[in-house]
Amino acid sequence: MFVLNSNEPIELGTYLRERKWLDDHEIIDSISKPGEGNMNYVLRIRTAKRSFIIKQSRAYVEKYPQVLAPENRVLTEGAFYIKVAGDMDVQKAMPKILGMDEVNNVILLEDLGLSNDFTFLYDFKEKIHENELSQLLVYLNGLHQSFQKLVIDGELVNAEMRKLNYEHIFEYPFRVENGFDLDLIQKGLQEIAMPYKTDIDLKQKIESLGSLYLSKGKYLLHGDYYPGSWLKTDYGIKIIDPEFCFYGLREFDLAVFISHLYLSQQDESKITYVKDNYNSFSELNSEILNGFIGMEIMRRLIGLAQLPLNMNLKTKANLLSFARTLILK
């Protein structure tokens, strides 16, 4: 099996030419990392005439090698890109897929250029602008509307990735002993997390929400619609990394979106704007939506997938209490 490695440019060039992804006489000028990815091994390749992104998934999470993950997950991401190519408005907000190698779990993507994701919001020095929220909502509305199904089937079930996500959202953060000392993140965090790990009412509701997450639905979801998946480019906001995509409940995508507005301490007016401008918001199940919002807040504060939050312990404690209220509504 070919293993993508930035330190082996000759082998990489040979592989790309064998796949016809490089012309016979096209030479790699540079190899770099386009950003701090979590799930996969990702490189930017530059030649004299172009650049592109190459991504490989392995049997573990790239940022957390101790966490096992479906080895072929990038192929599901590739299938998502192929699917959304059928709608110009949705596709233009994402990179185009240029190639897919199913044997080696590699995809080739359009390079969106030098850009930053929106994780700067967690530093609380900048607020997201309304026109940026508008772009994010245009994408989400388009994705949920253009690809919804009349009959639920087995397309893009993405079962293994959902099982992984299920564990890290609905189970891992609430185990009393999970091997993760939250005090290493912030002194005192373990103590304020413990009551939620032993809250029977909360855990019963979490189990119900987890079953809803694992259920099939008729809406195509990005599956991880948070600031790390939003790129600020010269051509507007672009959306990346749909490896957790699946057909499910649209409340989940919207809940992840809204929860990170709370986590990044956005004004309540921004959250109201999202609710007012998400199509058919009145048709959503508010209990499920609020439950998923609370779940994402809690797992980001006391789970493994930590954010670069510049937040004091009191604010985290207040957010955890707020999240519990949302879940138990």
* Domain 9-110 fold: Phosphorylase Kinase; domain 1 (3.30.200)
- Burial label, 30 (beta-carbon count in 10 A; 0-12, 13-18, 19+): exposed
Confidence of residue 197 (pLDDT cuts 50, 70, 90): very high
Q: Are 301 and 324 in contact (CB under 8 A)?
A: no
Please state the domain extents for the chain.
Answer: 9-110, 116-328
State yes or no: pLDDT of 186 exceeds 90.
Answer: yes
**SS3 category, 248:** strand
Backbone angles phi, psi at 38, to 5 degrees: -100, -50
pTM as predicted: 0.95
Give the tens place of pLDDT for each residue, 125-173.
999 999 999 999 999 999 999 999 999 999 999 999 999 999 999 999 9
H/E segment holding residue 237: strand 236-239
Q: What is the pLDDT of residue 281?
A: 97
Q: Is the pLDDT of residue 37 over 80?
A: no
302 close to 193: Cβ distance less than 8 angstroms: yes
* Residue range 116-328 in CATH 3.30.420.10: no
Instruction: Give the total residue count for the chain.
Output: 329
Same fold, 9-110 and 116-328: no
Q: Residue 240 phi/psi, 5° resolution?
A: -130, 175
Tens digits of residue pLDDT in 74-132: 999 999 999 999 999 899 999 999 999 999 999 999 999 988 999 999 999 999 999 99
At 63, list the tokens.
Answer: 């940022």
- Summarize pLDDT for 230-282 with one digit per residue, the tens: 999 988 999 999 999 999 999 999 999 999 999 999 999 999 999 999 999 99
Average pLDDT of every residue of the chain: 96
Q: Which residues pair with 51 in a beta bridge?
A: 46
Reported as type and span, the H/E element at residue 50 is none
> For position 329, what pLDDT does the model report?
85
Q: How confident is the model at residue 35 (pLDDT cuts 50, 70, 90)?
A: confident
